[in-house]
Amino acid sequence: MFDLIIKNGCIVDGSGAPRFHADVAVKDGLIAEIAPHIEGDAKEIIDAAGKIVSPGFIDVHTHSDGCVFSDDTTGYNHLEAGTTTELAGQCGTMAAPYYGEYQPTCGVSEEEYKSICESYTSFFKYVESKPHGVNLAFFAGQGNIRGKVMGLGEGTPNEQQLQQMRDLMAEAMECGCLGFSTGLVYTPSVFAGTNELIEIAKVANQYGGVYTTHIRGEGNQLKESIEEALVIGRASGIPVNISHIKVIGHHNEGKSAEVIEYIEENQRAGMNITADLYPFTGGSAPLASQIPPKYLTRGKLEGVHALRDPELRKKALWSIFNEYNEFESNIYSAGFDGCLIAGTYKTPEYIGKTLGQIAREEGRDPFDVCIDLLDKNDAIVQGIYFSQNDSDLLNFLSRPWVMSGSDWSDYGKPVDPETRAGGHPRGYGTMPRRLALIRNNGLWTLEEAIYRMTGMPAEVYSLPNIGLLKKGMNADITVFDYAKVDTLGDYDYPFRGNTGIDYVVINGGIAVRDGHFTGLKNGRIVKKAK
């Protein structure tokens, strides 16, 4: 007897091959059979007539490593979007190893956090002992590696410190990390030089890892920042992925064409280069990360407290608008009216308002509003920044080397869909919106689109036994209506969910039924194939 049979569906198997009609049988968490007509009993049968049956989607850029500590985390928001596997530990930040940065929102006490995150070894031991809603794989965050060895400040590592970094990178890869990530606009990653990154990359490359990078500049310095990533790739031999590729600053509109040509020129020369994106023009990041890093060298909270000083605050504001080629803040690229407060730790009354709007309502300077909000919320404020262009987004989405990453985290209990603001629509809608944009703009065939969301990321990151609908593969399956798939969420109502995603099967269990999370937590930890 099979555990599950999905009947009458149109199979898009994740390889890029033409679709075909067949049934899919599942037993013991694996795909047991794919055939035109599967006979036999099953504990459950899903009728997928008129629907697409594909591998579960792979979200190659998330921050869900920070959500593994709470038993209430389910990942329902990603599951309801068709995602079954997430790649976490992005933008240079992972939970381990602990180097002094702790957020009280993570779900455990600071002492517990320190113990769990003492090393990659202790972190993996912990996460492998817990149930998860989705499959999770991890990158080693270069910020954690540098922070552990050198703290939060500036400086060039000596040979002893470099060796400590190499050793930490080796431990991460031995534990099963996929490679390492950087967030070169965030403290302390921002202080790392190119040569330091090359040395870490060499170790990751020895294990077959990938370098995925939030580059130093995504606006005025976009091409130069990509050039640095490729220098690291050439010098170390490691494949390079550009995280959430984009163009920020409306004054930079059209820059995608130059960047695409540069990347593809290097691909033709033999370099292994990919990218990922989320299909929204509003970006999101902690509000504290919009302060120039040189003011945060003692940590986000102490840095914000220091900015209570009016003179230091004036200097920080001057830096934002006059030193943007050194550090391009979204406050500069989007303006105060383009900076929306999406989440706060202690002051929910400001959610859904821009810094400019709050300033006008309260008769205050908008930068004072920014710093005071951070101060009141222990530096825990999430912003959305409207500084991108639709044309550049579609231009990147049209390239065959661009995968999909939400740049978001797992949620816990479902949120009322009519809740106003408090998140980003990419937290629910990245995968459905990507498919809708591809369909509505005729960018790719469905087979090509699904390959870039399943088979391709499995190949790029050496993810074992996922990404394809094939006998013997893990039964991670998404059933959807391609004509209807889209997201309902927007920046005002980010929790409204999606349409067209009917069923999601993860490791053989049904996690989404008729578009809604079932409560099943059947995910596992995915480690790099050796």
Over residues 435-464, the mean pLDDT reads: 98
Over residues 113-122, the mean pLDDT reads: 94
Domain spanning 55-281+388-485+497-512, CATH class = alpha beta
Tell me what pLDDT residue 106 has: 74
Beta strands per DSSP E along 296-369: 339-344
Helix (H/G/I), strand (E/B), else coil: 496: coil
For 481, residues 6+ apart whose C-beta sits below 8 A from its C-beta are 50, 51, 52, 500, 502
pLDDT value at 62 more than 80: yes
Tell me what pLDDT residue 266 has: 98
Distance CA 6, CA 425 (A): 30
Note the pTM of the prediction, 2 decimals. Answer: 0.95
Tell me what pLDDT residue 300 has: 84
pLDDT value at 359 more than 80: yes
CATH 3.20.20.140 residue ranges in the chain? 55-281+388-485+497-512
Tell me what pLDDT residue 296 has: 87
178-229 tens-digit pLDDT: 999 999 999 899 999 999 999 999 999 999 999 999 999 999 999 999 999 9
The string of DSSP codes covering 75-124 is -HHHHTTTEEEEEES-TT--S-S--S---GGGSS-HHHHHHHTSSHHHHH
Taking residue 39's Cβ as centre, other Cβ atoms within 10 Å add up to 8
Tell me what pLDDT residue 221 has: 94
pLDDT band at residue 40 using 50, 70 and 90 as cut-offs: confident
Tell me what pLDDT residue 413 has: 86
295-341 tens-digit pLDDT: 988 888 899 999 999 999 999 999 999 998 888 899 999 999 999 99
pLDDT value at 345 more than 90: no
Over residues 49-68, the mean pLDDT reads: 96
Over residues 156-164, the mean pLDDT reads: 97
pLDDT value at 247 more than 90: yes
- Per the prediction, the chain carries an average pLDDT of 95
Distance CA 364, CA 259 (A): 40
Tell me what pLDDT residue 166 has: 98
Distance CA 212, CA 493 (A): 31
Over residues 51-76, the mean pLDDT reads: 95
Tell me what pLDDT residue 299 has: 81
361-397 tens-digit pLDDT: 999 999 999 999 999 999 999 999 999 999 999 999 9
| Range with top average pLDDT, 47-61, 324-338, 408-422 | 47-61
As a whole-number percent, the residues of the chain with pLDDT over 90 amount to 90
pLDDT value at 20 more than 90: yes
Tell me what pLDDT residue 397 has: 98
67-110 tens-digit pLDDT: 999 889 999 999 999 999 999 999 999 999 999 877 776 778 88
Distance CA 232, CA 199 (A): 9
Overall size of the chain counted in residues: 530
For 316, residues 6+ apart whose C-beta sits below 8 A from its C-beta are 291, 292, 295, 307, 367
The amino acid at 222: L
